[in-house]
Amino acid sequence: MEQLSGLDATFINMETRNAPTHISGICIYDQATAPGGKVTFKGILSNIESRLHLARCFRQKIVRVPFGFDHPYWIEDPDFDLEFHVRHIALPKPGDWRQLCIQTARLHARPLDLGKPLWEMYVIEGLDQVEGLPPGCFAVLTKIHHAAIDGVSGMEMTAATHDFEVEGKPEPPDAPWVAESEPSLLELGIRATVNNVQQPFRFARILSEAAPPAIRGYMDAAAARKEDDEQVAEVPRTRFNGRVSPHRVFEAANFELADVKQIRKRVEGSTVNDVILATVGGALRKYLEKHLELPREPLSAFAPISTRTADQAGSAGNQVSGMFVTLHTDEPDPVRRLEKVYRTTQSSKEMSEAVGARSMTDVTQTMPGALAGIAGRLIARTGLMSRLTPVAHCVVSNVPGPQVPLYFTGARMVASFALGLPMEGIGLFHAVLSYNGAITVSITSCREQMPAPSFYAQCLEESFRELREASVE
């Protein structure tokens, strides 16, 4: 039995019907590479079953402490049923991209069962008319609660279920799996009492360590802004800063990773992530301008940062912090926007390093569980975040992936996308994945805030094209 960290527990406490806190990945496969040219659902079940030992979250479920007096615990589920988690559906004909997006959004919108291990997998067949893909492809949509996984450990889970060759075989487990019985109320009560007595002292120690560098980082960042002669304006509100509905939309834009790397050469020192942020800034500018809603002040994004260390590889849960980045939506020139984004990310990285991302993660871990749980539930259920001044207008999460082909039950992965978690106050999520020479920007949003996601995908494509053309002159 292992207790959830403070950050992991936050994703449980903050969950509401309108804003479930799971993430999803959808991969598309060409089964022509599989033995016999066909993948069966029975074969997929057998493949997943042989790999359950490679990712802890597969068979772990949460046990809540009564009255929320402490963070929940993970236990090995004694009632684990693989066929509850792996499901099989098909698109109606013709089986095109739009149908896949609609079905994906509907599946992603449904909350997970918190009484079971926190994941579901949907095998979706019938993708016969998706442009650029051969007929007979199938997709696998995997939903995982954010309490169990972050972006980096999500890629580790992908590694657990995929191979580098058609007939790859997983390594056998070192020891047989053993289920755990649920702890008694008395045991949970004793643990909660001890933790809530100890945590305030740990909280004070870590806060004292984090505060001095945080102050220095703030002063350095303020000086950098002054040198750049940038004025800090009031944060504007957009359509993405209100309350979210329980309904979701999904879309994606695809780019060549080689083009992204070529663009970044235009601004010395800039990264792939800077190019994507500048592209998102241009897309938001186009989308809001079309709706006559573009503020004069620049919009900003929250960008998660992994704090996972080498010795934490393979562990479940979240090891993340983050930074806020100005997207410079007020800048019409794409290259100048990239230059400004680069300066902003450099300043944000310096601030994050000064504060100490690990220290800020530790602060969430040491906050007393009862206090953290009450605060999280209160914020979520009152919709407080949607009424406050926006902290950001969207999320841009970038997770690098493998640059070689992967195989699932013998079928070659031909495309990979991700879906994030729109929240109260930030209803637009960009998930950036790179795989085998391609990079995708996947869009998840509230249907009421973005009723036409295909138009926003076009805005992303146009923004990228303008940046590419302006960068290779």
- Shortest CA distance to 25 belongs to which of 440, 315, 453, 461? 440
End-to-end CA distance of the chain: 59
Q: What is the C-alpha separation between 211 and 217, in angstroms, rounded?
A: 10
Q: Which residues are 217's β-sheet partners? A: none
Q: CB pairs under 8 A, 24+ apart, for 350-354? A: 350/217, 350/220, 350/221, 350/224, 351/217, 351/218, 351/220, 351/221, 351/323, 352/217, 352/305, 352/321, 352/322, 352/323, 353/217, 354/213, 354/214, 354/216, 354/217, 354/220
Q: What is the C-alpha separation between 14 and 422, in angstroms, rounded?
A: 12
**Strand runs (DSSP E) across 298-427, as ranges?**
300-306, 320-326, 394-399, 407-408, 411-419
DSSP-derived letter for residue 296 is: S
Q: How many CB atoms lie within 10 A of CB 63?
A: 17
146 belongs to the catalytic site = yes
Asked whether the beta carbons of 12 and 21 are under 8 A apart, the reply is: yes
DSSP-derived letter for residue 117 is: -
For residues 5-42, b (16+ Cβ closer than 10 Å) or e, as one string? bbbbbbbbbbbbebbbbbbbbbbbbbbebbeeeebeee
Q: How many helices (H) and strands (E) does the chain have?
A: 12, 15
Write down the catalytic residue from 71, 85, 145, 146. 146
Phi and psi at residue 180, in whole multiples of 5°?
Answer: -120, 145
- Shortest CA distance to 271 belongs to which of 324, 331, 345, 322? 345
Q: Which residues are annotated as catalytic?
A: 146
